[in-house]
Structure 1
Amino acid sequence: MARRPAGEYHEPTATRIGYGNCLSRLGEYPRIFVLNADLAAPCGTTAFIEKYPERAINVHERRSINVGVQECNMMAMAAGIASCGKIAVANSFGIFSTGRAWEIVRQDISYTRLNVKIIGSHTGIALGEYGVSHQSIEDVGLMRCLPHIVVVEPSDAVQADRLFEKVLLYEGPVYFRIGRNPTPLLYTNDNEFGIKPVLDFEIGKGILLREGEDWTIIASGPVLCEALKVAKMARESIQVIDMPTIEPVDEEIIVRAARKTKRIATVQDHYRNGGLNDAVLQAIAKHRLSVEFHSIALTDFAESGSPKDLYEKYGLSAHRIMEQLGLN
């Protein structure tokens, strides 16, 4: 695959846009084939399908298809396309690509280990006003429980752009979880959190963003910003780790954090069961680490509302995280 430089980002940008930019800049690679379930614009694939429409005059440029609102069929088609040597990228909202289509993902993609990239956009309660029918809060668990599927959730648009390139290079099924709303940039110069920019990301590797002595907060996805706000606000010394790969989780960085701070909290815009919480706990149990552990996650369905209000009500805002951890 020909490498092209990632785009530049200067303002809050949704992770779905970072993903779409990567897909567009690497789109000339002929193995990539994109499938949409009538949600091209929301999922960020418009630029790619404009370059490679399904009715292109040159048949070799017909590398996208809109299958309509039929995610189960889309996953079966993606599996068939991948079996012919293509990299199939199947796009929908997370609630549909992992929920409605779960059986097909299990039978046709997980079992066969085919090279399908499953995109779940508009995830978590950060989706906001769409309400419970579209808020995908169990998608990571649905994908983690299946063998052979790598699960990735980028925290900002820069990471989404650069990390999806690694996803395309990876041979095998991947679930790539992205969000709807503009998110503060973390991995750029002069970001608001004082983080040193990272130019390269790896599947299976966490990133230590901030050193600390009293607590370690491990987060994935755009909610990481709330964890970083906690680290700035609290009197305690808070270490913050970005964990973009949830399966397989970076056990090494978890072990180091546990031995250093002795207290770990996970934060994820997802149901408590099956997500980052379980991945980190499994690593702690495997290595027999003695730590105080807290999970900041959802314990029930949410409701319709603004992302800010929902984060405050359901415990994912910086203020509520501090409250739950007893920080000052």
Structure 2
Amino acid sequence: MIATRDAYGEALAELGAENESIVALDADLSGSTKTGVFAKRFPNRFFNMGIAEANMVGTAAGLASVGKIPFVSTFAIFAAGRAWEQIRQSVAYPKANVKIVATHGGVTVGEDGGSHQSVEDVAIMRAIPNMTVIVPADGEETKGAIRAAAAYKGPVYVRLGRNKVPTVFPAGHEFKIGKGNQLVDGSDLTFVTTGLMTAQAVIAAEKLQAEGISARVVHLGTIKPLDKEIVLKAARETGAIITAEEHSVVGGLGGAVAELLGEECPTLMKRVGIHDRFGTSGKSDELLKYFGLNAETLMEEAREIITRKG
């Protein structure tokens, strides 16, 4: 169990030792986003921009224009919200080599409540041209994703969480932008998941097997560009898709998969996530249960979609 934000802090510090062009900027939240690990090792390459997210993104774009590789971090609600215009105009439009790594995404922010629980950020970032959007499942994938983002030339948005999550991928997992991973084989239906919901889908698939339901699990660590091949293959072979994400079903993973299937392979489908509403205050585990973001809900949806499938 490790929080993806903790894995980010470790990976960024490792990269900093390997590449002097990497710099980090934070909006007075380095203790929470874990860029503080980088700051301690490389104080001359760390910039605390204060509570000025828009200025931070603009500064990062300037640093990128002179060959630096800036990693910009704050909470997802502030990155996708307060700094949206600067991300669009100063980063995405000119294809600036800026990496926006936003932590505290989703309802697992917990007691901070709906005002701080970003459930729209993936949709917002996915809509921006030239933007790559990544949502890792666990700490190991996060480390690989940060390395891949650093090597990639262009804007990247990485969404991370606050809480510790189960480890899905083995140590040293190689992350490839735009490529999904089939974690469990199955023939009756496919769970297409991202973020912390991937571990829940693996649990659900194992339990469903005992009921005679064969569920495939496909994890998409990259939401944009979407791995069309792995999704279409699953749709054609299993005939039923259930997406799962700690995000609004509007415009996130569910929206992306629905768009693809609607155009290229109409398939029986269900979206599990936040259904067009804001988050609320509570303990993270209680909120996941409240919003149905768990293996039990996935199993219920699997039984229902099998019935609908006939």
**Cα deviation digits, residues 13-68 of structure 1 (max 9, x gap):** 00111111111111021111100100112111122111111xxxxxxxx2110011
Instruction: Determine the structure 2 residue equivalent to 1:24.
Output: 13
Q: CA RMSD in A?
A: 1.3
Aligned with 1:165 (options 147, 155, 158): 147
Which position in structure 2 is the counterpart of 1:119? Answer: 101
Letter in 1 for 2:143: D
1:200: which partner in 2?
174
Tell me how far apart the structure 2 counterparts of residues 199 and 70 of structure 1 sit (CA, whole Å).
35
Residue equivalent to 1:40? 30
Q: Which residue of 1 aligns with 2:186?
A: 212
Q: SS of 1:99's equivalent?
A: coil
Give the secondary-structure state (helix, strand or coil) at the position aligned to 2:39.
helix
Counterpart of 2:283 in structure 1 is 306
CA distance in 2, matches of 1:276, 1:262: 18
Q: Is the 8 A contact 2:189 2:302 kept in 1?
A: no
* One of 123, 134, 138 as aligned partner of 1:141: 123
Match of 1:56 in 2: none
Q: Is the 8 A contact 2:22 2:70 kept in 1?
A: yes
Query: Take 1:123 and 1:238, find their aligned partners in 2: how far apart are those partners?
Result: 27
Alpha-carbon separation, structure 1, partners of 2:91 and 2:174 = 28
More helix by share: 2
Superposed CA deviations along residues 176-212 of structure 1, whole A, max 9, x for unmatched, are 1001101111123xxxxxxxx7721200000000000
Task: Percent identity, please.
Answer: 38
Counterparts of residues 247-286 of structure 1 (less than 5 Å): 247-286=224-263
Q: For residue 237 of structure 1, what is the aligned residue in structure 2?
A: 214
Instruction: Tell me the distance in 2 between the aligned counterparts of 1:293 and 1:223.
Output: 17
* 3-state SS of 1:26 partner: helix
1:236-274 alpha-carbon deviations (Å, 9 max, x no partner): 111001100000000000111011100001000001111
Unmatched tracts of structure 1, length 5 or more: 1-11, 54-61, 189-196
In 2, Cα distance between the equivalents of 1:301 and 1:282?
23
Say if 1:24 and 1:198 are closer, same or farther in 2 by CA, change over 3 A.
closer
Shift of 1:326: 3.0
Q: Distance in 1 between matches of 2:197 and 2:257?
A: 17
How far apart are the structure 2 equivalents of 1:303 and 1:212? 35
Mapped partners of 2:195, 2:157: distance in 1: 13
Distance in 1 separating the partners of 2:141 and 2:301: 28
Cα distance between partner residues in 1 of 2:173 and 2:139: 12
* Residues 20, 161 of structure 1: 8 Å contact kept: no
Rounded to whole Å, the distance in 1 between the matches of 2:200 and 2:282 is 18
SS at match of 1:229: helix
Amino acid at match of 2:10: N
Does 2:54 match 1:72? yes
* Aligned residue type for 1:171: K
TM-score (norm: length of structure 2): 0.94
